[in-house]
Amino acid sequence: MGNTRAVTYRRGAVERTTEALELFMQKHPNYLLWFAIGFVALALLYIITGSSGDDAEQPQAPTVASAMALANNEDAIAVMVPEKESPLSRDPSFSQEIAQQKIHVTVQSGDSLGKILGNQGFTAQEIHDIAAGIKKEDGHVTIFPGEVFEFIKDPETGVITEFNTETPAHKTLRVARVDEGFTYELTDKPTETEEMFKTGTINNSLFADASKAGLSDRTIMELAQLFQWEIDFALDIRQGDSFKVIYDDIYMDNKRLRAGPILAAEFVNGSRTLRGYRYEHEDGTVGYYTEDGESLKKAFLKAPVDFARISSRFQLARKHPVLHKIRAHKGVDYAAARGTPIKATGRGRVSFMGWKGGYGRTVIVQHNAQHSTLYAHMNSFAKGLKQGQRVTQGQVIGAIGSTGLATGPHLHYEFRLNGTQVDPLKVKFPNAESLAGSDKQKFLKQIAAHKLALVSGDSSQLAANASHHESNLQ
């Protein structure tokens, strides 16, 4: 039955096609050319829309007229070809990937921020604004080989909407485009710390022997500053003195970045054993204290110059090296290279700053009603320092020189009590404020493992504090 219907359908189609063909030949003498075109169009149409089986729906047979229209209209043919579906269009993450097109650029030697941004389509004005914004946010715009920039591009406009990178300070910098220009965001990258334990004995110098023990220059300086109120490292160090240091090593992405702060330290200076422990207060300030909670910090530093050699002590009768006369030397001279920084030994106000006869360039700091200090023969004053200005303990106020009556670069330092010079090496200074109450209880609990490690010399005691813990760069 189905075959009979099909035969009848095709017979009717042939008859209709024949009638249309005869009419077309009468109106168009060059019918052979048009016939060829129509035949090709019919063949294509039949291939595209042909029946797939006996039960398929039968299409209406095309006429020669419709075939001629198709031959003269390529767009009509194209419309009838079904568009193939892209496999990506069926992927639910496809639209998100288009909206978040990422470009990674690794900084090469010789690259600059301007070059990196310029290659991504930023204008000169935009690059200038971004550099100024980064400098304001992070303090610098340095980039280094190997640094990776990640750019996010809008695929519709081709414009970079944001980028991020890691700064030399190991922070993540994100710069985003907004209507008003750009926004800047700095975040700390997560780090880990490992407690390290180093010991050593002084045979040559603190720097040489501490370096040999594995301490960095930064940690050595921190060790000297920790005990600077008790030890004059230019005068008091003796062969055979020893030290123990517990400090943090800071890691990021399993790579060591640098040494962190000293957590606890011991210094044996002759017959004295000094220990100090780090404690961070609730307000974020940090101090170092003895195991009883007494502050290591005192009202005055033992010396105004780090690691300088004492060339002349406090004497009431000394032959002056320039005048060649017997005169009292009411101070201590520290010999060091020209330009070595000079620190205020206590906080106070600059009461004098200028040239003072044989003292040369001089600064006098008034600390309170009774105490003042004098710093003479300076090569230069610290930039920005002014008379009347307040200074903090340890603040650099100038550099060693040989101005005035001096045979070579050194600092002449005087400590005055009620206007009278006294020997600064023999003055007993009071401690700063110590820990009390809940702070002291927290401190004593915190230092227990470090104290045991310093006293026993056994670094395995540090396991009580856990060898690894999450932190952030300070």
pLDDT in tens, 249-263: 988 888 888 888 999
In angstroms, the CA 103 to CA 122 distance is 14
Summarised one tens digit per residue, pLDDT across range 264-304 is 999 999 999 999 999 988 888 888 999 999 888 888 888 89
CATH superfamily of 309-422: Glucose Permease (Domain IIA) (2.70.70.10)
**Lookup: tokens for 103:** 């470009």
Q: Is the pLDDT of residue 24 over 70?
A: no
Q: Flag whether the pTM goes above 0.95.
A: no
Q: Above 50 in pLDDT, residue 446?
A: yes
What local confidence, expressed as pLDDT, does residue 290 receive?
93
The H-or-E segment that residue 53 falls in is none
Q: What is the mean pLDDT of residues 431-440?
A: 82
Rounded distance between C-alpha atoms, residue 175 and residue 223, angstroms? 39
Mean pLDDT of 116-130: 92
| Max avg pLDDT among 89-93, 141-145, 146-150, 370-374 | 370-374
d(CA 55, CA 430): 108
Q: Where are the domains of the chain?
A: 2-79, 97-188, 192-298+433-472, 309-422
Higher pLDDT residue, 406 or 28? 406
32 has pLDDT over 80: no
**What are the structure tokens assigned to 424, written together?**
């600064």
Q: Could you give the residue ranges of the DSSP H alpha helices within 28-123?
A: 31-49, 64-71, 74-79, 94-99, 113-118
193, amino acid identity: T
pLDDT of 136: 84
User: What's the rounded Cα separation, in Å, for the pair 69 and 15?
Assistant: 20
Residue 105 has pLDDT above 70, yes or no: yes
97-188 CATH fold: Nuclear Transport Factor 2; Chain: A, (3.10.450)
Name the more confident of 246 and 36. 246
Judge if 97-188 and 192-298+433-472 fold alike in CATH terms: yes
What is the DSSP secondary structure assignment for residue 431, as one 8-state letter? Answer: B
d(C-alpha 235, C-alpha 378), whole Å: 21
Mean pLDDT, the chain, integer: 79
Least confident of 52-56, 157-161, 388-392: 52-56
Residue 122: φ, ψ to 5°: -75, 140
CATH 3.10.450.350 fits 192-298+433-472, yes or no: yes
Most distant CA atoms of the chain, gap in Å: 143
Q: What is the pLDDT of residue 436?
A: 87
Collapsing DSSP to helix, strand or coil, 138 comes out as: helix
Higher pLDDT, 323 or 246: 246
Between the CA atoms of 457, 463, 468 and 470, what dihedral angle is there, to the nearest 10 degrees?
-110
- CA gap 466, 276 in Å, rounded: 20
As given in the structure block, the two tokens for residue 297 are: 């910090």
What separation in angstroms does the CA of 302 have from each of 290, 297, 324, 407, 426?
A: 18, 11, 30, 25, 10
